[in-house]
Amino acid sequence: MSERANALADALQLATDDVDRFIGEVSDEGWQATCPGEQCTVAALICHIGNAYTGMLDSIIKPVAEGAPRPEFSPEDLHRWNAQAAQMYAGASREQAREILRTASAPTISYVRGLSDEQLATSFDLPQRPEPVTVEAMVIHGLTGHPREHLASARAAAGSVG
């Protein structure tokens, strides 16, 4: 097992635990608050965090790490999918959000933990980035940074009500 992969998986687990803890701590009013910069409810944003684990793993990290072709999608596709999910999960319950988070995070964390140093160093091109990105950078900034950024937005929105 790669020490780097193990450390990355541990960091991802900590980020996931922070989101899970927030689900249990936020008030009912805060859960339904709208995140101004995100254009969705806190409930939808937390569901988005969970769903993004699977999306990033299946569409970017796993194909690149395994030398397989990545599915093609554009930034516009991502915006459209995110808008649809924001509507779909606007009134999601805490239980639904927690189930999405747990169901998606466990296999993602396990996969990251099993990556080799060679797989972590594999690079690929993203249309919105001027330079190639490594799998390791995607895990750090995409998988781990993504929930932390959105959790900050959710906390701010939830804290602004009441």
pLDDT digits (tens, 9 = 90+) for 40-94: 999 999 999 999 999 999 999 999 999 998 778 777 887 898 889 989 999 999 9
Host H or E run for residue 134: strand 133-134
The domains of the chain, with CATH numbers, are 3-159 (1.20.120.450)
Tokens of 9: 């998986």
Say what the pLDDT of residue 37 is: 85
- What pTM, to 2 d.p., does this model score? 0.91
CA Rg value for the chain: 16
Say what the pLDDT of residue 162 is: 54
Residue-wise pLDDT for 27-55, tens only, equals 999 999 999 888 899 999 999 999 999 99
Bridge partners, 124 (sequence order): 133
Say what the pLDDT of residue 125 is: 84
The number of residues in the chain equals 162
